[in-house]
Amino acid sequence: MILVTGAAGFIGFHVARRLLAAGSEVVGFDNLNDYYTPRLKHDRLAELADRPGWRFVHGDLADGTALAALVAETRPTCVVHLAAQAGVRWSIDNPSAYVSSNLVGFANVLEACRHAATPHLVYASSSSVYGANTKTPFAESDPVDRPVSLYAATKKANELMAHSYAHLFGLPCTGLRFFTVYGPWGRPDMAYWKFTESILAGTPIEVYGDGLLRRDFTYVDDIVEAIVRMVDAPPVAGTHDDGSPAAACRVYNIGNHTPVTVSRLLAILERLCGRPAVRLMKPRPPGDVEATFADVSALARDFGFEPRTPLEEGLERFVGWYRGWRQAAPARKAA
């Protein structure tokens, strides 16, 4: 049995669906908050509801007692921890949400896994941890001590917390630095969703940094493939090159290793939507970095896989899904 936190979220939903399709029993955990429309989260859960092996539990990471009881009851072979308060820009004005979910919540996950002797914790970190780094591509061995947002700081803190639990209690932990994930059933706060929505509606789009900011857009199926390969492959303790002990803890980049400008993203979406965008040029907001670019050589070395979905192909799938989801909205309301 595998416990997936954030199972009503974008990546969590896709991971749960893939695991269920492979015959795994999955318990999903989510608080269904309103950071973006809960309707989308309920729609995702409806897609999972009748699948064999599925169970959903409504709960909050901040409730450590309830979370520990769930992990103790289900005894998962792996916890895939994808629940978190997302969003770089939102963290500037809403820091308490990030402290509660990403710090307190993650500590509760670690404690629950520790006491249940969970064989493996796979958890979401973020490419945001690279912060003000200018060397590209970003490698896991690069220093990440210059975060430019509270969100990034909480994700780096998660990596340090996981290492301490691996060292102190032998809890095997794998952290995943996701690079700008996109695709069907995605998040409405992300640029590709906002751009598609605005192009189809004919409303203006805010484009930051002259459209020259570069992102390593990674299709969600590639993210899921990497995660499912890791679930049954916990890290083992060993030694560093200098002979010192190495905890059963590792971190991997998961990115498409092909940075694309926001202007290029917008041009592809204009073609797929069949109409031009109305652009409003804006300066780069605080907390945004100039570029992200993943070195995925460690992922390829250890798991024989690296993301390869071209941006044009992934966006075509997203736009097709988005049109269908929007067209079905009246039927959902009527029901």
Q: Which residues are catalytic?
A: 151
Spatial distance between the Cα atoms of 171 and 119, rounded to a whole number of angstroms = 7
- Give strand pairing partners of 28: 4, 56
Contact 25, 1 (CB under 8 A): yes
Strand segments, DSSP code E, in the chain are 2-5, 26-30, 54-58, 78-81, 121-126, 173-178, 181-182, 204-208, 214-215, 218-219, 238-239, 245-246, 249-254, 260-261, 278-282
Contact 75, 27 (CB under 8 A): no
Fill in the amino acid letter for 111. E
Instruction: End-to-end CA distance of the chain: give it in Å, rounded.
Output: 33
Q: Which of 19, 45, 78 is nearest to 235 (CA)?
A: 78
How many C-beta atoms surround the C-beta of residue 92 within 10 A?
14
Q: Which of 163, 64, 52, 154 is nearest to 116 (CA)?
A: 64
Length of the chain: 335
Q: According to the 3-state scheme, what is the secondary structure of 257-302?
A: CCCEEHHHHHHHHHHHHCCCCEEEEECCCCCCCCECCECCHHHHHH
CB neighbours of 55 closer than 8 A, spacing ≥ 6?
Answer: 25, 26, 27, 28
Spatial distance between the Cα atoms of 332 and 326, rounded to a whole number of angstroms = 10
Q: Which of 164, 159, 201, 172 is nearest to 79 (CA)?
A: 172
Spatial distance between the Cα atoms of 216 and 260, rounded to a whole number of angstroms = 6
